[in-house]
């Protein structure tokens, strides 16, 4: 038993109601049972809990402990600036938490957009009388009347109708109004003409319906449920950040603990060891990494916006670079959505539209049907209507001018019948005109029009029509068939059904319409192929048309796997999975609801999936995909709200540009991570020297934080703005197992760049101490001017070598001179800001007070600058070696 | 299997809809059906009439289907009266519908449903009706986990219902995610997840084979309740049949209660089965 297949009496019985509606008491009881008729968000982790979780993850806990120990240390052992440090560490926790929270979260308003599509008030029958109630109070079993312009409040079964047409676009994506019929129907609910869906609108006519599902149990509610509940999961970058921070935090705490114990063993006192343990932990944690990453992603999203891709979640910037599969719509994304008639088939011949004048007399009947069986209009110098109908009208007007007739009946197009019929009065004669899919229309024809004469439609002629239709589809055309018949005067026209008049027709010919591909698309597809990204076309068009367009734009080259809507629904997930693993796949005759299944299976297989969508029904798939891409020009608000990225120009090429930008962002993140991690070594080595060689502490913790959260930040951000490297779209997407913080990055930062910087800072420290007459083994007071200058020299050495390091990190293999010293001006701004901050810290009394520094003489600068030259030279040599090694 | 089935009916429409499942099961099992309405003292005349009408409709419907049926109307405490009928009539399974309070109260504390589930000496099927028009399911979702008790009864319950409605069954298994400290949750492909389906589920599928029920196995991942409701919404399942929670109150408070969460957010009609039959 299905609600759509029941008679009116059975429907009322099933829903325990009557055609006079429910009683007030019964309605109240049902309201209590089934709840309000409203769209709700599913329960999720509240935003405040998500924010709280940023303060209690592993790294944060480690930092909380460090802060607490600092405060304890200050309480038990005042005068070591541990109180300031405690606050500085808490500031680090807050900065990281806030930036990560901003990066990972955004306001989700898709369900809010869905709510707006339901009506506010509705007239229902209660106790046999019509009564206006709030739409939220509609319950299953409520009977209500419908008139033109009404929004439907709940999924309902039609029990009476007069020429009732509704616009189901929010659910099906079909913009054409569809005629509803209260008779029982033994098919799927979504295809039933006797079912009205919540959120859709009555375009014309009137009817009476009984609600059978309300609120979240409607089809609309189902979409809301999926849109709200489905989650793409953590992005590759989020996973990598978690891994990297846990790894670094583990290393830092392990090193801290090890040397704490070692300090004891070599006879250091508790407080020295304590300061050391906290210092080494803070030194090895790259405090600036998360804020820099967030700001870098924000800059990436700005660059994407300039390329017409609006990013809504920051981590999506990088996810785009990891995309392995793009599932894309055809119409409007790969093509221009500008329909034009290009070919006609008449008299057994395919004719080009520009040669129409040669066949004017032979094509008159065909064009007459195309003109009259058409709802497009030419008004005020403009064509108005659905793109296919506009294209037909335009072709007719250009060939024959305006044709007049009086329309007395229309049986609208619907996806089940796949045809539209009109009855027109022309010069006193009554004609039936039909246009639609060949497979549906040809069997209704008894004759074919050949040279203006009717010929019996024998098997040969029928085969010719089918062959011609296929040939035109193979040219990438959307093919429509046209037929007509003349009938005697017609009685009781309003009661006439399609089957009464759509028979014994004369087949007039075929018209092929082209929706040309966007000119940028073939190049974009080529880029995807080179970049190892699989592109899957999902279209409502037939397989031949889809295949032809796919071939034209270079999407397919061999024999692709073509899955059509009907077969798709019959397939098990296992079968579909096997199809999706094929190299070239096209999905034809699909509806938006099918997308989520495709996306789910691809994600199950470990793919990183981007999917396009524009309708309400696309929202769940957009949410499920790693990157949901909504159309900015033609997309519904719900789709835009559910997406991660909005294409401002609806163009496929923009997706590919965004992928390129995403890959660049990932490359750049690796660059600034190398840069940031390199400075951890000169921050850590002074502590090791302090604990092992019994020297004054060469670098204070607050100076470490000045580097990590101050001077390093802007140059690192400038690295985040590096341009794409030439080969970025010529290599496959990075593998899921590929780590952000992998061995090459760690080795280069910790074992090559870092040690050079460490030598520089220790050299600077001892240079100042030595010139100041320091004798080995003498511990200096923290406020001793010599000590302050020595630590300042150590600190300055890091800054100076980092200015060279920023150039070194612009590429892991290419010479900085080959990529152009001045090709990223932001680097210079970053260095300028870094040096200004350094000047403030070293030469301003306020900076001196906060960071425990003292002004340095020019000699110290002069002896440190060669180290930056050394770093750059060593790095250039390393790159030469790497390039040669790669060539070999 | 079930020889005597009791359907508790009250003034709410969803109890009538839930009783239709009981009717279907009675027909499939050739069991005797007892339709019971216990009027609470505070019940008003209109509600009483409504429940009586429902009882009458269900009675007629069962008779039309040649089911041995009786209709009982009592006054007093629903739990006590039904408990009494269950003991005296040696009822095998009781069908009851959720009330609003079952959805709103956390962990069902002090609800009639909880009393039925915990204290009745027979199996209990508690139905939550969210779709009045979908009482003839075409596809049933059965979430399963490993180490379940009364597998035979669970399997036969689902199989009988599927048989009478000519429905297909999707067995849905959610395995615990594999996690590591550094890598977080490790993604498993369906083939890898399939290997983690517990062996005892085979006993369940044997029942489905016995009744020649079309079925498929599916695996999922992620939060249990969320995955079940998403699967049901995505695949448009008409009915979910899941086992009653076996978590203690404390464990429910600490780590959540998936059954309760599904009960709250189910997009399809839901039957929560507490099996107690020792001998089928």
* Cα–Cα nearest to A10, from A145, A215, A212, A193: A212
Q: Which residue has the higher pLDDT, A797 or B186?
A: A797
Q: Are A213 and A30 in contact (CB under 8 A)?
A: no
Q: Which CATH architecture has domain B136-269?
A: 3-Layer(aba) Sandwich (3.40)
pLDDT tens-digit map of B138-164:
999 999 887 778 888 898 999 999 999
Q: Are A790 and A696 in contact (CB under 8 A)?
A: yes
CB-facing half-sphere around the CA of B253: CA atoms within 13 A: 4
Residues 6+ apart with CB under 8 A from A428: none
pLDDT of A755 reads: 96
Q: In Å, how far is A31's CA from the nearest CA of chain B?
A: 10
CATH code given to domain B1-129: 3.40.50.620
pLDDT tens-digit map of A280-296:
787 788 877 888 888 88
Q: Which CATH architecture has domain A340-514?
A: 3-Layer(aba) Sandwich (3.40)
What residue spans define the domains of chain A? 3-41+112-229, 237-290+661-887, 311-336+518-650, 340-514
* Cα–Cα nearest to A562, from A534, A582, A592: A582
Asked if the Cβ–Cβ distance from B189 to A606 is below 8 Å, we say: yes
pLDDT of B279 reads: 62
pLDDT of B141 reads: 96
pLDDT of B94 reads: 95
- Measured between beta carbons, which residues in chain B are less than 8 angstroms from residue A2? 133, 136, 138
**Nearest Cα residue in chain B from A12:** B133
**Nearest Cα residue in chain B from A13:** B57
pLDDT of A465 reads: 92
- Measured between beta carbons, which residues in chain A are less than 8 angstroms from residue B234? 226, 596-597, 600, 620
Average per-residue pLDDT for chain B: 87
Task: Please name the member of B190, B234, B265 whose beta carbon is closest to the beta carbon of A604.
Answer: B190
What residue spans define the domains of chain B? 1-129, 136-269
Instruction: Provide the annotated active-site residues of A.
Output: 329
Q: Is B136 on the interface with A (CB under 8 A)?
A: yes
Question: Which residues, given as ranges, of chain A have pLDDT below 50?
Answer: none
Q: What is the DSSP letter of A753?
A: I
CATH class of the region A3-41+112-229? mainly beta
- Distance, in Å, from the CA atom of B91 to the CA atom of B6, rounded to the nearest integer, reads 7
Q: Is B217 on the interface with A (CB under 8 A)?
A: no
pLDDT tens-digit map of A671-720:
999 999 999 999 989 988 887 888 898 998 888 888 988 899 899 999 98
Strand spans (E) along B68-214? 69-75, 93-97, 123-128, 139-144, 168-174, 178-180, 184-186
Asked if the Cβ–Cβ distance from B133 to A14 is below 8 Å, we say: yes
Q: Which helix (H) or strand (E) holds A412?
A: strand A406-414
Burial A268-287 (b: 16+ CB within 10 A, else e): beeebbbbbbbbbbbbbbbb
- Distance, in Å, from the CA atom of A39 to the CA atom of B196, rounded to the nearest integer, reads 37
Give yes or no for residue B240 having a pLDDT over 90.
yes
**Nearest Cα residue in chain B from A232:** B222
- Among A744-748, B185-189, B216-220, the range scoring the smallest mean pLDDT is B185-189
Q: In Å, how far is A189's CA from the nearest CA of chain B?
A: 11
- Distance, in Å, from the CA atom of A135 to the CA atom of A635, rounded to the nearest integer, reads 26
A589: left (phi over 0), alpha (psi -120 to 50) or beta: left
Query: In the predicted model, what is the mean pLDDT of residues B258-273?
Result: 90
- Measured between beta carbons, which residues in chain A are less than 8 angstroms from residue B190? 573, 577, 604-605
- Measured between beta carbons, which residues in chain B are less than 8 angstroms from residue A30? 13
Burial A633-670 (b: 16+ CB within 10 A, else e): ebbbbbbbbbbbbbbeebbbbbbbbbbbbbbbbbbbbb
CATH class of the region A311-336+518-650? alpha beta
Crossing angle (nearest 10°) for helices A754-771 and A652-678: 40
Domain A237-290+661-887: which topology? Calcium-transporting ATPase, transmembrane domain (1.20.1110)
pLDDT of B107 reads: 60
Kind of pairing between the strands at A201-213 and A155-167: antiparallel
Asked if the Cβ–Cβ distance from A14 to B265 is below 8 Å, we say: no
pLDDT of B199 reads: 80
Report CA-CA distances (Å) from A747 to A243, A594, A678, A743, A752.
Answer: 17, 47, 10, 6, 7
pLDDT of B187 reads: 82
pLDDT band at B87 (very low <50, low <70, confident <90, very high): very high
Task: Please name the member of A26, A33, A216 whose beta carbon is closest to the beta carbon of B267.
Answer: A216
- Distance, in Å, from the CA atom of A223 to the CA atom of A871, rounded to the nearest integer, reads 58
ipTM of the complex: 0.87
Crossing angle (nearest 10°) for helices A785-808 and A858-887: 30
pLDDT of A645 reads: 93
Query: In the predicted model, what is the mean pLDDT of residues B247-264?
Result: 81
Q: In Å, how far is A120's CA from the nearest CA of chain B?
A: 22
Give yes or no for residue B67 having a pLDDT over 70.
yes
Kind of pairing between the strands at A645-647 and A309-311: antiparallel
Task: Please name the member of A216, A239, A247 whose beta carbon is closest to the beta carbon of B184.
Answer: A239
């Amino acid at each position: 038993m299905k609600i759509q297949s029941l008679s009116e009496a059975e429907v009322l019985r099933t829903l325990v109601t009557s055609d006079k509606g429910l009683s007030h008491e019964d309605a109240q009881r049902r309201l209590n049972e089934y709840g309000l008729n409203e769209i709700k968000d599913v329960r999720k982790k509240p935003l405040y809990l998500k924010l709280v979780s940023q303060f209690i993850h592993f790294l944060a806990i480690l930092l909380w402990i460090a802060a607490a120990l600092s405060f304890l240390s200050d309480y038990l052992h005042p005068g070591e600036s541990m109180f300031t440090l405690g606050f500085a560490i808490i500031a680090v926790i807050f900065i990281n938490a806030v930036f990560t929270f901003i990066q990972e979260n955004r306001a989700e308003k898709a369900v809010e957009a869905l709510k707006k599509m339901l009506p506010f008030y509705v007239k229902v029958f209660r106790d046999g009388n019509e009564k206006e109630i709030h739409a939220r109070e509609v319950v299953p079993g409520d009977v209500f009347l419908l008139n033109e312009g009404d929004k439907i409040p709940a999924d309902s079964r039609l029990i009476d109708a007069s020429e009732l047409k509704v616009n189901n676009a929010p659910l099906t994506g079909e913009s054409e109004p569809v005629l509803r019929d209260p008779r029982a129907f033994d098919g799927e609910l979504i295809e039933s003409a006797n079912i009205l869906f919540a959120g859709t609108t009555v375009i014309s006519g009137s009817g009476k319906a009984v609600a059978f599902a309300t609120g979240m149990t409607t089809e609309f509610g189902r979409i809301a449920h999926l849109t709200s509940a489905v989650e793409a999961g953590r992005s590759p970058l989020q996973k990598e950040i978690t891994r990297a921070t846990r790894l670094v935090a583990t290393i830092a705490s392990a090193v801290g603990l090890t040397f704490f114990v070692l300090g004891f063993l070599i006879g250091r006192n508790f407080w020295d060891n304590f300061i050391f343990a906290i210092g080494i932990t803070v030194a090895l944690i790259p405090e600036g990494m998360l804020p820099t990453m967030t700001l870098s992603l924000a800059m990436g999203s700005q660059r994407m916006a300039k390329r017409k891709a609006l990013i809504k979640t920051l981590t999506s910037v990088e996810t785009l670079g990891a995309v392995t599969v793009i599932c894309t719509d055809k119409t409007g994304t790969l093509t221009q959505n500008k329909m034009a008639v290009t070919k006609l088939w008449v008299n057994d011949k395919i004719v080009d539209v520009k040669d129409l004048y040669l066949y004017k007399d032979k094509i008159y009947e065909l064009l007459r049907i195309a003109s009259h069986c058409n709802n497009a209009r030419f008004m005020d110098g403009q064509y108005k209507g659905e793109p296919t109908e506009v294209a037909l009208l335009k072709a007719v007007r250009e060939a024959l001018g305006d044709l007049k007739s009086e329309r007395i009946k229309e049986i609208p197009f619907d996806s089940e019948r796949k045809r539209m019929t009109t009855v027109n009065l022309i010069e006193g004669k009554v004609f039936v005109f039909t246009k639609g899919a060949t497979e549906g229309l040809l069997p209704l024809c008894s004759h074919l029009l050949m040279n203006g004469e009717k010929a019996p439609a024998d098997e040969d002629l029928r085969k010719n029509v089918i062959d011609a239709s296929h040939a035109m589809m193979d040219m990438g055309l959307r093919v429509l068939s046209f037929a007509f018949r003349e009938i005697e005067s017609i009685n009781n026209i309003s009661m006439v059904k399609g089957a009464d008049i759509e028979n014994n027709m004369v087949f007039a010919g075929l018209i092929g319409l082209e929706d040309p591909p966007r000119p940028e698309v073939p190049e974009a597809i080529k880029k995807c192929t080179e970049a190892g990204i699989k592109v899957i076309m999902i279209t409502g068009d037939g397989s031949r048309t889809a295949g032809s367009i796919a071939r034209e734009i270079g999407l397919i080259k061999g024999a692709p796997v073509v899955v059509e809507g009907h077969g798709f629904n019959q397939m098990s997930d296992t079968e579909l999975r096997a199809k999706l693993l094929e190299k070239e796949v096209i999905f034809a005759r699909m509806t938006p609801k099918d997308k989520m299944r495709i996306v789910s299976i691809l994600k199950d297989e470990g793919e990183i999936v981007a999917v396009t969508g524009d309708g309400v029904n696309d929202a769940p798939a957009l949410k499920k995909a790693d990157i949901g891409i909504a159309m900015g020009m033609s997309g519904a608000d719900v789709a835009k709200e559910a997406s991660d990225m909005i294409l401002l120009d609806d163009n496929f090429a923009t997706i590919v540009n965004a992928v390129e930008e995403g890959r660049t962002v990932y490359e750049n993140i690796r660059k600034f991570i190398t840069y940031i991690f390199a400075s951890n070594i000169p921050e850590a080595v002074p502590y090791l020297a302090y604990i092992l060689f019994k020297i004054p502490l060469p670098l204070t913790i607050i100076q470490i934080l000045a580097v990590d959260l101050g001077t390093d930040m802007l140059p690192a951000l400038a690295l985040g703005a590096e341009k794409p490297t030439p080969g970025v779209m010529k290599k496959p997407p990075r593998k899921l197992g590929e780590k952000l913080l992998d061995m090459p990055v760690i080795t280069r930062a910790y074992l090559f760049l870092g040690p050079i910087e460490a030598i520089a800072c220790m050299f600077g420290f001892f240079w100042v101490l030595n010139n100041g007459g320091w004798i080995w083994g003498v511990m200096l007071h923290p406020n001793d001017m010599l000590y302050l200058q020595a630590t300042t020299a150590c600190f300055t050495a890091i800054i100076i070598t980092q200015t060279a390091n920023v150039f070194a990190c612009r590429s892991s293999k290419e010479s900085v001179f080959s990529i152009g010293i001045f090709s990223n001006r932001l680097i210079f701004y970053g260095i300028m800001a870094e040096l200004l901050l350094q000047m403030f810290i070293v030469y301003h009394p306020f900076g001196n007070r906060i960071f425990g520094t003292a002004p340095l003489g020019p000699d110290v600068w002069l002896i440190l600058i060669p180290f930056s030259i050394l770093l750059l030279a060593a790095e250039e040599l390393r790159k030469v070696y790497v390039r040669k090694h790669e060539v070999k | 299997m079930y020889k005597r089935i009791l359907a508790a009916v009250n003034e709410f429409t969803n109890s009538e809809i839930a009783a239709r499942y009981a009717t279907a099961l009675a027909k499939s099992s050739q069991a005797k059906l007892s339709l019971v309405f216990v009027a609470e003292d505070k019940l008003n005349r209109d509600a009483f009439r409504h429940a009586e009408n429902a009882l009458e409709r269900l009675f007629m419907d069962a008779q039309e289907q040649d089911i041995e049926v009786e209709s009982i109307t009592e006054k007093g405490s629903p739990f006590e009266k039904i408990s009494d009928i269950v003991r005296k009539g040696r009822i095998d399974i009781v069908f009851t519908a959720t009330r609003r309070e079952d959805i709103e109260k956390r962990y069902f504390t002090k609800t009639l449903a909880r009393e039925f589930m915990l204290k009745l000496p027979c199996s209990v099927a508690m139905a939550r009706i969210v779709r009045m028009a979908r009482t003839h399911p075409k596809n049933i979702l059965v979430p399963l986990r490993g180490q379940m008790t009364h597998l035979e009864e669970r399997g036969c319950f689902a199989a009988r219902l599927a048989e009478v409605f000519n429905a297909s069954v999707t067995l849905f298994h959610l395995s615990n995610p594999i996690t590591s400290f550094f890598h977080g949750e490790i993604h498993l492909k369906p083939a890898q997840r399939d290997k983690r389906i517990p062996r005892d589920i085979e006993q369940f599928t044997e029942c489905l084979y016995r009744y020649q029920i079309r079925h498929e196995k599916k695996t999922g991942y992620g939060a249990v309740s969320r995955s079940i409701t998403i699967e049901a919404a995505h695949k448009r399942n008409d009915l979910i049949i899941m086992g009653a929670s076996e978590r203690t109150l404390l464990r429910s408070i600490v780590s959540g209660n998936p059954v309760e969460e599904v009960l709250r957010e189910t997009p399809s009609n839901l039957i929560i089965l507490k099996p107690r039959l020792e001998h089928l």
